C-alpha cells in the first residue's frame, strides 16, 4: 500500500465497547480482543475487523455510524478513551489512525451521551435533534430563475473567510458530546453566525436566531457555561467567538424583532 510503513508492527488490543440492544434496553460495556491490527488502519477499519470476527462467531456486530470515511459527513461519532473522536485534536473518528495507539492498549468506546441524542443501538445515536434545529431556521430564501453571476454581491474577504470557517461545521455533535452541560450552542452558533455574516442570510436574520434557539431549548440541550470543551474537541475548529455572535444576534433579535410571541 502506498505510504504504508513496512516496519509497522501489527497490534493486539482490548476493546471495551458499549453494547445496547435498542433505545429502551439497559446497555453495558462488553470486552473484546482484536488481533493483528495494522497501525495504518483507521479506527473505523479496526472496528470493521472486530465486526468481521463477531460475524464469523455468529454474534451480532457492533452498530456504529459512518458514511464518507473522509471527515466530511460527521456521522462517525464515537467517544474514545474519554474524548470525543478520541485523543487526537482536529480529527473525526474516521481520520483517527491506529498508529496513535500502542500494542496491548485497552480502548474504551462509548456513544455520544446527551438526553437530546438518545442511543439507537450500541454506538449509534439519534442526532435528528440537530436536523430539527436546522429546519427551524438554518436556511436562506432565494429567488428561483436565471443563475446569478458569481460574486454579484460584494462581500469583504475577511467576512467571507469568517463565514466560511463557521460553515465548515459538519454537525457531528462532538460539541454536545464533550460539553459537561450537553449544550448545542457551538453547533447552533456556527449556523447562526455563518448566515448572519453574509448578506444572503439577512432576510431571515432575526427570525432565524429566535427560532433556532427556541428549538434548541425544546430539544433539551443544556445552556453554555463558556467552559470551552466544545471548541477544544471540534474536529473542524469552530471557535467560541461564534457563541458570542449567537448571543449578540439573539439579544438584538429579541430586542428589535416584531415578534411579540
Partner 1 sequence: MSWITKTFSSSIGRKIIMAVTGLFLCTFLVVHLVGNLQLFNADNGAAFNAYSEFMGHNPLIRTMEIVLVLGFGFHIYEGLALAAKNRAARGNQRYVVDHIEQNSSWHSRSMALLGSIVLFFLIVHLYNFFGSLRFTDVPRDANGNEDAYALVLAAFKDPLYVLLYVVGQVALLYHLLHGFSSAFQTLGLTHRKYTPAIKFIGYGFSIVVCAAFAAMPIYFYFFK
Q: Which residues bind partner 1 (CB under 8 A)?
A: 16, 18, 27, 29, 79, 81-83, 87, 108, 110, 113-116, 178, 180-183, 185, 213-214, 216-217, 220-229, 232-233, 240-241, 243-251, 254, 259-261
Interface mask toward ligand HEM for 183-222; x: CB under 6 A: ----------------------------------------
Q: Give the torsion through C-alpha atoms of 165, 167, 172, 178, to 10 deg.
A: 40
* CB within 8 Å of 211: residues ≥ 6 apart: 136, 137
Q: Which is nearer to ligand HEM, 4 or 226 (CB)?
A: 226
Question: For residues 8 and 223, which CB has a smaller minimum distance to ligand HEM in the complex?
Answer: 223
**Least distance in Å: CB of 90 to partner 1?**
12
Buried b / exposed e over 166-184, threshold 16 CB at 10 Å, is: bbebbbbbbbbbbbebbbb
Helix axes 128-137, 185-197, angle to 10 degrees: 30
With CB under 6 A as the contact rule, the residue among 4, 102, 200, 225 that binds ligand HEM is 225
251 binds, among partner 1, ligand HEM, ligand FES, none (CB under 5 to 8 A by kind): partner 1
- Residues of the shown chain interacting with ligand FES in the complex, contacts defined by CB under 6 A: 66-69, 71-76, 92-94
CB-nearer residue toward partner 1: 38 or 187? 187
Closer residue to partner 1 (CB): 65 or 249: 249
Minimum CB distance to ligand FES smaller for 40 or for 45:
45
By the criterion CB under 6 A, which residues form the site for ligand HEM? 223, 225-226
Amino acid at each position: 500500500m502506498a505510504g504504508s510503513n513496512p516496519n509497522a508492527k501489527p497490534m493486539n488490543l482490548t476493546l471495551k465497547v458499549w453494547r445496547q440492544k435498542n433505545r429502551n434496553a439497559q446497555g453495558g460495556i462488553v470486552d473484546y480482543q482484536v488481533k493483528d491490527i495494522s497501525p495504518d488502519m483507521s479506527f473505523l477499519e479496526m472496528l470493521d475487523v472486530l465486526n468481521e470476527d463477531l460475524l464469523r462467531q455468529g454474534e451480532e456486530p457492533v452498530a456504529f455510524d459512518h458514511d464518507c470515511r473522509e471527515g466530511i459527513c460527521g456521522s462517525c461519532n464515537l467517544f474514545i478513551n474519554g474524548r470525543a473522536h478520541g485523543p487526537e485534536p482536529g480529527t473525526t473518528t474516521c481520520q483517527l489512525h491506529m498508529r496513535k495507539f500502542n500494542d496491548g492498549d485497552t480502548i474504551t468506546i462509548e456513544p455520544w451521551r446527551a438526553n437530546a441524542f438518545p442511543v439507537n443501538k450500541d454506538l449509534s445515536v439519534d442526532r435528528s435533534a440537530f436536523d430539527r434545529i436546522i429546519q427551524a431556521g438554518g436556511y436562506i430564501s432565494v429567488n428561483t430563475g436565471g443563475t446569478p453571476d458569481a460574486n454579484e454581491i460584494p462581500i469583504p474577504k475577511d467576512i467571507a473567510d469568517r463565514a466560511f470557517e463557521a460553515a465548515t461545521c459538519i454537525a457531528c455533535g462532538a460539541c454536545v458530546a464533550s460539553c459537561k452541560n450537553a449544550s448545542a450552542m457551538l453547533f447552533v452558533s456556527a449556523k447562526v453566525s455563518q448566515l448572519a455574516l453574509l448578506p444572503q442570510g439577512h432576510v431571515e436574520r432575526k427570525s432565524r436566531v429566535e427560532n433556532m434557539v427556541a428549538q434548541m431549548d425544546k430539544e433539551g440541550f443544556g445552556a453554555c457555561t463558556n467552559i470551552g470543551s466544545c471548541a477544544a474537541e471540534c474536529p473542524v475548529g469552530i471557535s467560541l467567538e461564534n457563541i458570542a455572535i449567537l448571543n449578540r444576534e439573539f439579544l438584538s433579535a429579541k430586542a428589535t424583532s416584531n415578534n411579540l410571541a
